[in-house]
Structure 1
Amino acid sequence: MVTPGHEGDPLVDATREAVSTAVEAWRLMMAVADAVRRHQQRRRGGVEEDLPPAGEAATDIASTVRDLVPDDIAVALMGGADWPQMAQQTAALRRAGVDLGVFLPQLAEVAVTVRDAVAENAIRISRDGTGEWERMLRETLPAGPVREAILSSPTWPDIAATMARLNADGIDVRQILASAHNEGVGLDQAVARVLGAESAPATSRDATLSYGPLTTGLDLPRDLDLSDRARAMRQLAISPVENERYGRWVQEAMFGREREAGLLLAARQWPLLATRMAEMEREGKPVRDHLDRLLADTSWEQGSSARLSARLVQATHNALRRPLEEVDSSRAAVDTAAARSQSASVDPAKRRSAAKSPASAEPAIAAHRAVGQAPARGRGK
């Protein structure tokens, strides 16, 4: 992964996006190389050889990648959730007779070219003031080769400027992007068939439906299965200890709203939120401070009870993604004492007592932040 920098620093953000795009290009090239290897094996003997064990391959290939690939790209590759699979593919190529001393530097050259192109585009976009269109592209199109090819194209700054002009003319740019992506996917699949990559796993329904704002910047497996919570957590590299910790943080942030916290933790999309928290932890961001917003703004209560779980998921995503210094001036400060006085989990006598007490003039804070009420458990990042 890229070394974390200051939140919102344009240069750091541009560097992170450039390396991320270079890694996507690397994944695409490795997928093509692996498909060619499998095709050759089928032609020779009709049976594909098994890949070497993931743990063994990851350890064996790591030093070779560090020696032959630029540091920033190598670190990002080995920090990805799919690194064990890529290590297996690389080890299988070497076993098939590929000289990694020649092959990996060739891949690295392409990845560096992509990285530098994206970085240069980011500088121009920052200068021209069209950065918001890159965010829209990432929110509208799923992560993958199609989106990254657009962002690494030399014409991307011109595309962004065109999007700005269309938007100014009242055109729904998101709809145009969605339609263009559907066409691009068809083209991508046609090329994959020509290259003999038809054996690559198809994108699952859960992965397809998850692409968008909820997963912007996250590395989703193509066969994501949210119907199996344990499997989804393994696919997203979230350990049981991490999952328990994030669940506890949610319960602490929603003190007094145990029912709603339970709905959030039981939501089908919870693994995606846990993945977002894990990513924030790796970047050194204060996850719990972000979660405190769930009681500071309870607009998620508004609407039908049938959609409450979905609103909680969206509210949690918004709380995690918005910078802490961003203040929503349209929302009045929440009197948490008064709010908790209405909670069904509070004793009726205490509820009446709280209702009679004047609202505190102090800024509202979550109960687990109050002096003397901190939970006994140790706090993580």
Structure 2
Amino acid sequence: MTTPTPEGDPFAAAAEAVQTSVLAWRLVMAVADAVRRQQQRRQKGKEEGLPPAEQAVSEAAAEVTKLVPTDISTALMAGADWPQMAQQLVALRRAGVDLGEFLPRVGDIAVTVRDAVAENAARMAREGTGEWERMLRETLPAGPVREAILASPTWPDIAATMARLDERGVDVRQVLAAAHNEGVGVDQAVARVLAADATPAASRDAVVSYGPLTTGLDLPKDLDLGDRVRALRQLAISPAENERYTRWVREAMPQRGREADLLVNARQWPLVAARMAQMEKNGKPVREHLAQLMKDTSWEDGPRPQIGSRLVQAANDALRRPLGDATASRVKVNTTAARATSTTVGPTRPRAAEGAARAEGGIAPHRRESAPAPRRGRSR
């Protein structure tokens, strides 16, 4: 908590507003530096260290003085952590970021925060990082910036900064959104210097997961289902949420603990968990949908080694199927689609397929919600 400014003292109020804008600056710089480090680790296997503090201060001071409003630049360079921020700025420039474009944009963010503090009364601080993690997931789209923030060892410090900004009347979501845009720019600039694509190709997991399993989900291009912890983080599923969804599955499948474990331990479980998180956020009864797994047990039919994969499809179908729908599960083989994607059998109606493709306008399959396939009753 900061000391309240004397009532009616405009100079003290202005100083408080400037100091808060410096906090916003630190938040943006922490995000940018986290993205730079991760991009270098991903492409080179290691991150480049920070330049010597004395040299960085000399190089960065002229740029900050020239490109940042005077009151904010003065406060920045008077702070005890200015040498570290100067090192981060120089490291960004050496990584390929144009400070002539970056600094004015960060300066605009700081000015917005400064003005917001001057106009808003301080509010009570909120404790802990859980609330800020939820805000981060709700505000930022899945991708390298959000992953870099949550994976950064400085995440607790970032969350504390967000709490202090909120305490002083700042719209933290707006600052986060602006910081995200700068983080994307940093990610792309560093990637260009490392001879990487600014928009990397989709990973194999992202490609093979396209379809009903990911329809409507915010799927990151670099999805890595081989790393369970990272995949859950990429899909914005916290450990507590994953534990809760696991428990719900076991509750929905009483006396079927082995099958429930096969579902939860399946490679594509994070996608099922993401579907449950989306439904929970939208206020839908997730557990009631999961109960449909035991009303239609067609997932039992077939080779035992593939039951985990069938359960993933059945769970996704149960979550998407309207409650009270007594028809059989749609976890069936679509023979038309199988023929159309086969490497040995060509599509039965190529011209119709081409026309449909043109009509779709190139929309990614997992972003397009298709009409439900006709259902067929089960027969024994």
- TM-score normalized by the length of structure 2: 0.40
Structure of greater Rg: 2
TM-score (norm 1): 0.40
